Amino acid sequence: MVGRVEPTHRPRIVKVEETRTDTPSIRTLMFTDEQCSKADPGQFAMVWIPGVDEIPMSLSYLSGKGYCGITVRLVGEATQALHAAKIGDNLGVRGPYGNGFKIAEGGKVLVVGGGTGIACVAPLIERLSTRSSELAIVVGARNKSELLFLERIKKATAKAKTRLLASTDDGSYGSKGLASDIGITLMESTKFDAAYACGPEQMMKRIAEKCLDKAIPLQASLERLMKCGIGICGSCVIGEYRVCKEGPVFDAEALRSLPEFGVYRRDASGTKIKV
């Protein structure tokens, strides 16, 4: 694990150095920022798009040597602007923020990612591939064209004892169904020493419940509306926790104490929205 990086709260201006089209709705932007590149997997940066907005983004590539990246699904004005970004365009970044994943040393490890949740756990998988005795990785998406980072994961785990399984909602690749379905089936047949999850909240809720039932230590990354990223505004509060400060990674026991987990989130006005 890279040593803890203390963030500075003033945006650092970086230039987009590389763009990649990962799926029809997902792009990756690469840039150089020494602090973000040394983040722990699961930490995030606040990304400022000049003239548009500032939003939290998981760090999906972590070189530890300056080069890093964010992976963006097209969902609104800010992400549309990021999708339109070209090489040489300026962005502001601050962070890294939050608590990332704690890397399991040895043992059998399960990683479940759905949708763009794979962007959050991809750097984690790269770290685990050299530390775990056995890896089971489940990736899920709506359809084959939206599956993210399959080749990257295959390359990262080529020398590790790994099972890589995929699911799609429509059955166009891998198993038909949800990533959580495969994860739960794996937990029925294998005693894992640790589990990690990121993706749709209802998927993570099912994984968390099974991990609690099987006494498997789980770390899961939550997503909530964030405005400041430093624990001041309170927009990301869930139960007694601020996702930007006490999260975004939580263990299963913490998640069990949150009745809203997997049920609803809040919009910018504080209105409850079912997840």
55 with 123, same domain: the answer is no
Same-domain status, 91 and 183 = no
The residue from 78, 97, 116 where one domain ends is 97
Q: What's the pLDDT at 4?
A: 61
Residues 142, 91, single domain; the answer is no
Domain termination residue (choose one: 97, 120, 153): 97
The pLDDT assigned to 3 comes to 53
Beta-ladder partners of 140 = 114, 167
Q: In which domain, by residue range, is 121 found? A: 108-274
Alpha-carbon radius of gyration of the chain: 18
103 part of a folded domain: no
Same-domain status, 61 and 115: no
Residue 102, in any domain of the structure: no
Domain count for the chain: 2
- What are the pLDDT tens digits along the chain (275 aa)? 445 666 678 899 999 999 999 999 999 999 999 999 999 999 999 999 999 999 999 999 999 899 999 999 999 999 999 999 999 999 999 999 999 999 999 999 999 999 999 999 999 999 999 999 999 999 999 999 999 999 999 999 999 999 999 999 999 999 999 999 999 999 999 999 999 999 999 999 999 999 999 999 999 999 999 999 999 998 999 999 999 999 999 999 999 999 889 888 888 888 888 88
Same-domain check for residues 83 and 134: no
| pLDDT reported for residue 15 | 98
pLDDT given at position 108: 97
122 shares a domain with 14: no
Residue 28 belongs to a domain: yes
pLDDT (0 to 100) of residue 10 = 86
- CATH label of the domain that carries residue 173: 3.40.50.80
Residue 40 belongs to a domain with what CATH number?
Answer: 2.40.30.10
Residue 90 belongs to some domain of the structure: yes
Are 207 and 268 contained in the same domain? Answer: yes
Q: Do 90 and 118 belong to one domain?
A: no
One domain, residues 156 and 247:
yes
Q: Strands of 218-221's sheet, edge to edge? A: 175-176, 162-168, 134-141, 108-114, 194-198, 218-221, 249-251
